Chain A
Amino acid sequence: MSCPTRFHYRIQCSLFFLAFYISLILVLPLAAWAASDIAVEVDEQAGKLDMGEIQQFVDRMDHDLQSALPETDFKALVTGLATGQISMQPTEIFNQCINYVFREVVANSALLGKLVVLAVICAVLTNITGAFEKGTTGQLTHMVAYLVLVTIAVGSFGLAIQLGREVVDNMVVFMQALLPLLLTLLVAVGGIASAAIFHPIIFITIATFGTVIKNVILPLIFFAAVLEIVSGLSEHFQVSKLAGLLKSVAMGLMGLMSTIFLGVMALQGVAGAVADSLTFRTAKFATHAFIPVVGGVFSDALEAVIRSSLLMKNAVGIAGVLIIIMLLVVPLVKIVAIAFIYKLAGAVIQPVGEERISDCLNGLGGSLLAVFGAVAMVGLLFFFALAIVLGLGNITVMLH
């Protein structure tokens, strides 16, 4: 059991750093960007780009998610971010998240009530088994109560898995709409080789990663949870080791996939950026050697213009990250709230003396946290993918 716990801890740590890093990204550079002439330039740049697909996606988003965004028009969001008109306060985001967690926990308190009452009934039945004429009567009623409890638990567990699948789907669709735009801007700032290298790889890895998480890892976690429940039916027929095996396979697969994903992205990114800067530098030195103009050469003038494209690209990327976070945070909070309810129910029930039910609920909570980890991992890797594409543009321009 220590391995999944350590994994959850790692996930939580990495999510904390992610949230911290994003809040830094959102807050720090924006204040420096505020300038009126930049607004005009960014507006002009935004007009040239086709953001229709992303806008359609944003329009299709839930009302909950839309209200969390500072701006529902993607173009206005990008322009606002680039000019510093939209800035997010980390404390505000944090407060909203905490609010949302409490709201979800309260909304799920009915589930908690049902679980606790059923568990208490089970405990009472177990204790008064001796009062029945035949011992098996008490055992049977206990089993029926246990099955009712499990039905309720599996129902909400299935909903959480479904929610996770939807989130992964949404994120993949969003990335597929956002990345062409980012790659276009990458080409515009001179990253032709990077875009050519990235184009097939980034789309294939994102689609594959999403599909594997959705069709392999989430079902594996679900199966593991089901086996854990079945183990709770009887003390004599335990299949908890099989459940553990499935869970470890899911976690191992996820670790492997994320390592491959990050490795491929980072390697390709560096290769592309170096190739691009090489072509640009060759041209630059050729020009430098020919015309030593006082006050700079043409490449300097070009660089100044390219920087506005770069600003645009970064703004599109940050807006993308913002939407990914919105897509991710709300369902994840729901999943965490349900996991918390299970764990709480398990903790409350344990003193009543119903060890099996308590273990089962605790295990379900753990499995839900694994679902949370899997979905959060997808978000984290997509965030890294965006960060690499953004950083690639910056490196390409910096290496000029």
Chain B
Amino acid sequence: MEVLRELIQTIIVIVVLAVLVEMLLPGGDMRRYVKMVMGLLIIMAILQAAAGVVNSQFMQDVPAVTVSDTGAPPLEDIMAVGQELAGKDRDKAEQQFSEGLSRQVLALVGMNPEVQAVDAQVSLDGENSDIREITIIFNVEDESGAGGQQASNGIGGDLGVQPVVVDLDRKSPADEQSPAKTATTEQKKAAAELTKMVSQFYNLKPDQVKYKFEE
């Protein structure tokens, strides 16, 4: 650009000079010669600039046109913040997913009136968000079986479902499949059938669905 600027400046000077000379000179043949000489001067100026460009090293001018510092923050920072946001989204989605699943499991289990399910804990595999384990918690409060209580409460009454608590990082309980003291054989049998159904429904291995009785 500097070369071009100088060339333009030279041309301006030559033209202004030519105009002044034209005014000062008397009319006649001289004007034609002056015009030609000035034209030659302009050609020389252009050729000189062109020669300068050919001889100069282009690569020196390149950094002025392209830029070394693009003002971009490092990609790692952007990735880190973005993946943190994505992680938060994933946590939220996992929570919604497991809440939905536990509601589904409770609804499925609630179809059998012999036992009363209070909670279904769904734990997810952190990597692929597959179901790792489902633990269904049954109530053993009434001795005569859940069905009797439900009947006394009236049709469509309160099934005694507690708010669903989901713990994704929960380790599998140590006392799994150990029935509580008051659980009857019928209740245990019904619970086992229900867990089998749930495992078949969700296409899980039988040992991935567990149950326990709580007071």
The reply on A260 being an interface residue by CB < 8 A is no
Task: Confirm or deny: A302 has a beta carbon within 8 angstroms of a beta carbon on chain B.
Answer: yes
- A298-B93 contact, Cβ under 8 Å, with A239-B42, A290-B130: yes
Are A180 and B130 touching (Cβ within 8 A)?
A: no
Q: Would you call A239 and B15 a contact (CB within 8 A)?
A: yes
B96 touches A184 (CB 8 A): no
Taken residue by residue from 273 to 299, chain A's Cβ proximity to chain B (1 for < 8 Å, 0 otherwise) reads as 000000000010011001111110010
Given A301-B97, A305-B93, decide whether A223 and B8 contact each other with a Cβ distance below 8 A: yes
Instruction: State whether A216 touches B19 (Cβ < 8 A).
Output: no
A226 touches B78 (CB 8 A): no
Question: Which chain B residues border A290 with CB–CB below 8 Å?
Answer: 130, 203
Determine if A302 and B78 form an interchain contact, defined as CB atoms under 8 angstroms apart: no
Kindly report which residue of chain A lies nearest to residue B81, judged by CB atoms. Answer: A184
* 8 Å CB interface, A29-53 against B: 48, 50
Q: Mark A38-75, 1 if CB is under 8 A from B, else 0.
A: 00000000001010000000000000000000000000
Please pick, from A230, A294, A302, the residue contacting B15 in the complex, using a CB distance under 8 A.
A230
Q: A190 and B4: CB pair below 8 A? A: no
> When the two chains form the complex, which single residue of A195, A233, A239 contacts B82, counting CB atoms closer than 8 Å?
A195
Asked if A200 lies at the interface with its beta carbon under 8 angstroms from chain B, I say: yes
Q: Give B99-135 as 1s and 0s: 1 = Cβ < 8 Å from A's Cβ atoms.
A: 0110010000000000000000000100011110000
Q: For residue B65, give the distance in angstroms from its CB to the closest CB of chain A.
A: 6
**Given contacts A295-B104, A301-B96, A306-B89, are A215 and B70 in contact (CB under 8 A)?**
no
Determine if B70 and A187 form an interchain contact, defined as CB atoms under 8 angstroms apart.
Answer: no
- Other-chain residue from B1, B8, B77 in contact with A216 (beta carbon distance below 8 A): B1
Known: A215-B1, A234-B19, A242-B11. A286 touches B78 (CB 8 A): no
How many residues on chain A are close to B (CB under 8 Å)? 63
Determine which of A172, A212, A230 lies in contact with B65 in the assembled complex, contact meaning CB atoms within 8 Å. Answer: A212
Q: Which of A201-209, A335-343, A353-361 contacts B (4 or more CB under 8 A)?
A: A201-209
Roughly how many angstroms separate A208 CA and B65 CA in the complex, as a whole number? 7
Asked whether any CB of chain B lies closer than 8 Å to the CB of A304, the reply is yes
- Shortest Cβ gap from A187 to chain B (Å): 2
What is the distance, in angstroms, from A281's C-beta to the closest C-beta of chain B?
A: 14
Residues of A near B69 (CB, < 8 A) are 207
The 6 A-B residue pairs with the shortest CB-CB distance in the complex, in nearest-first order? A187-B82, A203-B72, A188-B85, A302-B93, A301-B97, A203-B70
Kindly specify which of A98-106, A110-118, A135-143, A322-330 makes contact with the partner chain: A135-143
Say if the beta carbon of B90 comes within 8 Å of chain A.
yes
Q: Which residues of B contact A305 (CB under 8 A)?
A: 89-90, 92-93, 96
